[in-house]
Structure 1
Amino acid sequence: MNWISGLQKAIDYIESHLTEELEAADIAAQANYSPYHFQRVFGILCGYSLGEYIRMRRLTLAGSELASTDRKVIDAALKYGYDSPESFGRAFSRFHGITPVQAKSGRAKLKSFSRLSVKLILDGGSTMKYRIEKMGELEVIVKKKNFSCDLETSNRQLPEFWGECWTDKTMLELFERNPKEGIFGDALLGLCLSEIPQANEFVYAIGMMYDGGPVAEELSVEKIPAHTWAVFECVGPIPEAFQKMQHTVYSEFFPSSEYQPSSGLDIQVYPTGDMQSDKYVCQLWIPIEKNL
C-alpha cells in the first residue's frame, strides 16, 4: 500500500464509522501505520489533529440532520458520540455558533466541514536537501518521558518538557558529556523513540550521543536500531522553519518518492547555535524503506 492510498483508506474508514466509537489504533491500521505515527503525519499534513477532524465532521453531519429532519437533539447527541445533550450543545455551539435548538428552526446558518480527499498535486518544483544514510545501531544518553499520541496534547506538552530539561539542569549535564564528534557532531537530539499502543502514548527523549561514561539516575542509555535513514536539512529559525520542512517532507517528498517511513521513530538534530537565526541549520532523520 502506498502513501496516498493508505491515508485515503484511513479517511474512508473514519467516514464510514462516524456514528460509532472510533479508536486511533483502528484508524491507523487502515494505513498500515502505528497510532502515533499516523496521528503525527495527519496533523502535519492537515494542520489539525485527527480528533479535531472527527469532531468537526460529526458536528457537520449532526447540524445537517437537525436542520433537515425531525431528529431530536438528544438522539443526535447520542448518535454522534456525546454522553449528554448538554455536552453536545456546548460543542455544537462552539462549532456552528448557534444552539442545536436554533438549528432545528431551519432558518439559522450552519457551518460545514467537508470530508477529506487525498490527492497528489504536482505544483511547481520545490528543492529539498536530503541524503540517504545507512547506519548501524546507535547509543544515545537521554532523559525520556511518555506523551499522549493526541496531537493537540503532545504539541502542548513537548515544549514544556524541553523547558523542564533546562530548568532542572538536565541540559547542562548533557552538554558536559557532549562528545562533539561522531555522526551528529556538537548537537542536542530530540528523539521519538517508541510507542505504547495500549496507552495511546509514545516515548519522547532529549539527549546526545552516549560517551560511554556513568549514567545519572534520571538519565538512561537507549539503543537506536540499525536503519536506512532519509536525512533532511532545515535552514531558518526554530520552530517555524522546522515545522515548514516537516510539512514539505510528508506532503511532497514521500508521496512522490520511492520511499516511505518504516516506523514512527525519528531524530531531530539541533546543533549548538542561535536557533532564531535565519541561517540556523538543523536536521530531521527519518527511517525509511522502499515502497511496496
Structure 2
Amino acid sequence: MIGSLNHLIDHVEEQLARGADAEIDVEALARGHATTGYHLRRMFSSLAGMPLSEYLRRRRMTRAAADLLSGTDTLLDVAVRHGYSSTEAFNRAFHAVHGMSPAQLRANGGPISNQHVVRFRLAVEGSTPMDVRITTCPEIYFAGYATRVPLLYEGANPHIINHITSLDEQQHGLLRTLAEHSPEGTPPGVVGVTDSEPDAAEGSGLTYLHGVSVTETTDLPESLDVITVPAGDWVIFRTSGPHPETVQAAWAATASDWFPSNPWRLRPGPSALATLGHNADFSEATCEIWMPVEADR
C-alpha cells in the first residue's frame, strides 16, 4: 500500500507537469496495483491528513505560484495551463490556497502557502501490538438517529457530541432496548456510525448515526433512520484506555500500520464505533472500531 500511494504521488506530479490536458485516473492506477480507488483515496486521506482532491488543489496552486513568479506569461496563460478556463475561477482558487491574488503575488513576491510533494514511509516498530480480529457478517442494518455534520480530520467532533446530547431519555431508552436484540456477531450495543465519501474535504458533509444494529425484520418506529451495509468481511480493532485519545490513536494506526502490513483493503461503507464499557466520567473506555473490508488481492 505504501508503494501504491507513492506511485500515486508520482502519477500526480507527472500529470500536473503536463498542464491543462492532465487527467489523473485514480481508478486505473488502483487497478494496476490490484486495489481499488476507494481504498487508495481513504488511505491517502488518513495518512496525509487531507483528501487527495485537496492535495491536488494545493500542488496545482503551488506550481501556479512558481509560474507567476518566474515567468512573463499572462495571467490567462497561467490559468489555462493549470486547468482553468477563466481568470476569475483561477483567482478564486489561488486566493483560497495562498490568501492573496495572483496580481498581489507578482507585486509583492509572497508569502505563499507552499505544498511540498508528499512521501509515504512505513516505520515498522512492533512496539504497539493491536488487538484485531476479522469477522464475516450478513447484511447489517444500522437503525438510529442520523444527522449531517461537518467532517473533521483531527480531534473530537463537537457537532457529533451535540447531536448525541440533543437526544432525550426516551430516545436513548429506545436505542438501549433495541440494542438488547442486536444480531450476534454485529457491532454490539449503542454504536456511532460514520459515513463519508473517500475523498471528502474537511468541513464537507459527513453522515453520523447514533444507533444500533438490527435485523431486516426488526419492528422499527418511523422516527428512526436506517443505514444498510452489504454482507461481507469486517476488521475489528479493540481498544482500552483513556478516551477518546486511545480510539483516535488506534484509528490513525489502522492506516499507518495495519492496512499497509496486511492483505486487506477498505470496501465502501460506513465505519462503526461500539463502546463495550467505561468508567463513571467516560475518561477511560473499552471500545471496538468496525471497518468494512475485503481481501486485497
Q: Fold-level match, TM-score > 0.5?
A: yes
1:57 deviation in Å?
0.4
Aligned to 2:76: 74
- Please say if residues 188 and 213 of structure 2, whose CA atoms lie closer than 8 Å, have aligned partners that are also in contact: no
CA 1:180–1:279 in structure 2 vs 1: closer, same or farther (change >3 Å)?
A: farther
Aligned to 1:155: 152
1:248 aligns with 2:253: yes
Equivalent of 2:60 in 58, 74, 84 = 58
How many residues are aligned here? 279
Gaps of at least 5 residues in structure 1 are: none
Q: Secondary structure at the match of 2:268?
A: coil
Aligned to 1:284: 289
- Please say if residues 147 and 163 of structure 2, whose CA atoms lie closer than 8 Å, have aligned partners that are also in contact: no
1:114 deviation in Å?
1.7
Aligned to 1:208: 212
C-alpha deviations, 1:125-172, integer Å up to 9, x for none? 231322323334154341476969xxxx5339x864664455355544
Q: Secondary structure at the match of 1:209?
A: strand
CA-based RMSD of the aligned residues comes to 4.0
Rounded to whole Å, the distance in 2 between the matches of 1:271 and 1:81 is 50
Deviation larger for 161-170 or 73-82: 161-170
How many percent identity over aligned positions? 25
Rounded to whole Å, the distance in 1 between the matches of 2:12 and 2:282 is 41
C-alpha deviations, 1:189-215, integer Å up to 9, x for none? 233579799xx9986543213276421
- Please say if residues 165 and 171 of structure 1, whose CA atoms lie closer than 8 Å, have aligned partners that are also in contact: no
TM-score in terms of structure 1 length: 0.74
Aligned to 2:29: 30
Rounded to whole Å, the distance in 2 between the matches of 1:139 and 1:16 is 42
Rounded to whole Å, the distance in 2 between the matches of 1:275 and 1:58 is 50
Structure 1 runs of 4+ with >6 Å offset: 21-24, 193-197, 200-203
Rounded to whole Å, the distance in 1 between the matches of 2:81 and 2:148 is 30
The one-letter amino acid paired with 1:125 is G
Aligned to 1:11: 9
Q: Secondary structure at the match of 1:57?
A: helix
TM-score in terms of structure 2 length: 0.72
The one-letter amino acid paired with 1:42 is F
Rounded to whole Å, the distance in 2 between the matches of 1:33 and 1:202 is 22
C-alpha deviations, 1:173-197, integer Å up to 9, x for none? 3123221774467622233579799
